[in-house]
Amino acid sequence: MRYSARHKQETHRRIVEEAARQFRERGLDAVSVADVMGAAGLTHGGFYAHFGSKEELIAEALRSLRGSGPAKLGAAAERMAPRQKLAEMVKRYLSPQHRERPGQGCVVAALGTEAGRHGPAARQALAERSRGLVERFLPCLPQDAGQPREELAIAVAASLVGGMVLARLEPDARAAERILRACRRFILDALDAAPEPRDAS
């Protein structure tokens, strides 16, 4: 072998990383194979040494975002009570920073309406990211609210995604922040109306 296997893996990783960023920033159609390769410091011809097609890259890029995103908290959150953790996740997700940087943010909020149309692989990958988002909220939610916590988690995730979509549509930054604030408060108020989870605090 010419270059070491590590070298190729590293290049592959860089391509996927750039793709994931650019797809979220500009959309699946607007980003060309040449764009991604250029951003990774390569020319477009080498693409097919790594991927069978653009569709394959899309699927891998979306899958690569497993467990990432703005609702992900650091190790410092380990000691937080569930309710506090939830509030922090909601705050981070519905933050102006997240709104302004779709390339670093939640892929469901960035590509939710278009990825499903791009082929089965892209659709499945995004459906998995969507379920992953929901599951991240599960452990922070009250067990004995009016609604099963699994359903609460779904609804919280939906509100976050919708809030970000609406905020990004709004060209005026102040109006956009108002949207984010309204959604943050709505979600947290709704959960406060239900009892706290019992397992912690």
Partner DNA sequence: TGTACATCAGTGAACGCGCGTTCACTGATGTAC
Residues at the interface with DNA (CB under 7 A): 1-4, 7-8, 11, 31-35, 37, 42-50, 53-55
51 token code pair? 């991927």
Give the DSSP per-residue string, 159-187.
HHHHHHHHHHH--SHHHHHHHHHHHHHHH
Cβ proximity to a second copy, 80 vs 182, nearer residue: 182
Indicate which single residue of 73, 80, 138, 182 sits in contact with a second copy (rule: CB under 8 A): 182
Binders of a second copy among residues 138 to 177 (CB under 8 A) are 146-147, 150-152, 154-163, 165-166, 168-171
The interaxial angle of helices 120-137 and 82-93, nearest 10 deg, is 140
Q: Give the per-residue contact string, 95-134, with a second copy (x = CB under 8 A; - = no).
A: -------------xxxxxxxxxx-----xx-xx--x---x
Residue 102's contacts (CB-CB under 8 Å, 6 or more residues apart) are 24, 25, 109, 110, 168
Say which entry of a second copy, DNA, none residue 78 contacts (CB below 5 to 8 A, set by partner kind). none
